[in-house]
Amino acid sequence: MRATAIASCLMAWSRRCMGTLVVGGNGALLQAHRSSTDEVKRVKSLTPPSPGVPGVAEVYTLSVDSPLGKERMKGVAEVMKDLKIESFVSVMGLSAAAYKNEQDEMDQQVLPMTEQQKKEWLQVDIGYGPVHKGKKPAMMGSSGALACSLGHRHIWETALDMFAKRNSSDERWALIVEDDVRVRRRASPSPEEALREALASVPAGVDIVFLDDRHCWGRSGELGQGVDIYLQSSQAYAITAKGARALLSEPFKRNADHWLNIPVHDGKIRGFCPKRSRIVFAHEYKHASMIKSNAAKLNLLSVFGLRVDYFRNTRVVRRRTPPPIV
């Protein structure tokens, strides 16, 4: 009776704005949307079923409420099935396409930014100097990178709250994946076992584990102070409560890919890349991007091993894209 009442109550919020979807092994169970502080607290007080992965307290996926997001979530459901993950929490983030410019996106109240965070975002640098170059946000196109960073930060906050409520030393990880995540079929002995072995192999004192083929390309083992802050991909990783706190302590001036590296680079926490056979998730496959525009040019350049980042007003040719780990 109680579960039915909660479900009915939460479903009544479903058309207000974007928020959190709690999903179980038999599909969508509870849907909750943010519209007031009281509702956010009640959403966070819900304890969904255990994901069923040893050491993992919760699994989060980041998507957007759009046709592409919905299509991608079908793939996520297959990933969870392949990995024998019994429940996960899907966080509906922002769609940059919903905003006329970056200022409009910064002023939205779905995942609100403080005035300090807005100032910090104007310092964002992806490795080639400031993105804004003195331009005001109202002069910039809406930013997929900003939407992505806001979504990840919201998950870190939610995970930290979850860790505090559960207070279990046996479940130290929050597994976070984006909706374009797919299983790397050559993970061995199987994707399911590779995930469990990857997490079991993490040394004591590590608080973030990178689990996709791009972030860990060409490296394995512990990552510490001085690591390259421009290692790419926030597609799949796991953090502890300490890791969440370290990420949340950083200024809001990085895209999500690079943000993950900052506290490792600065020596606040240690990171880890599993060995190649335990890399569970694949990012380097042909798929549309929610952050980058002009997909045709992106795909053409990828033939020559290049990747182009588009931030509407800024185009930069990145370093050569690593080959996928298969």
Phi, psi dihedral angles at 180 (to 5 degrees): -95, 10
Report the first-to-last Cα separation within the chain, whole angstroms: 47
Residue 307 has pLDDT above 60, yes or no: no
Fold assignment, 56-286: Spore Coat Polysaccharide Biosynthesis Protein SpsA; Chain A (3.90.550)
Q: Give the chain's mean pLDDT.
A: 76
The pLDDT, as a whole number, for residue 35 is: 29
- Helix then strand then coil, % of the chain, to nearest 5: 35, 20, 45
Q: Are strands 56-64 and 173-178 parallel, antiparallel or unpaired?
A: parallel
Q: Long-range contacts of range 37-43, CB-CB < 8 Å, 24 or more positions apart?
A: 39/13, 43/10, 43/19
Q: Contact at 8 Å (CB) between 193 and 254?
A: no
User: Which of the four pLDDT bands, split at 50, 70 and 90, describes residue 284?
Assistant: low
Residue 43 has pLDDT above 50, yes or no: no
Residue 206 has pLDDT above 90, yes or no: yes
The pLDDT, as a whole number, for residue 188 is: 78
* Amino acid in the structure at residue 294: N
How large is the average pLDDT for residues 87-110? 94
User: Which of the four pLDDT bands, split at 50, 70 and 90, describes residue 283?
Assistant: low
Q: Contact at 8 Å (CB) between 199 and 173?
A: yes
Q: Which residue(s) pair with 206 in the sheet?
A: 270
- The overall pTM is greater than 0.85: no
Which of 83-87, 146-150, 256-260, 322-326 comes out lowest in average pLDDT? 322-326
User: Which of the four pLDDT bands, split at 50, 70 and 90, describes residue 49?
Assistant: low
Q: Of all residues in the chain, what percent carry a pLDDT higher than 70? A: 71
d(CA 60, CA 253): 23
The pLDDT, as a whole number, for residue 30 is: 33
Residue 27 has pLDDT above 50, yes or no: no
How large is the average pLDDT for residues 283-287? 55
The DSSP call for residue 317 is: E
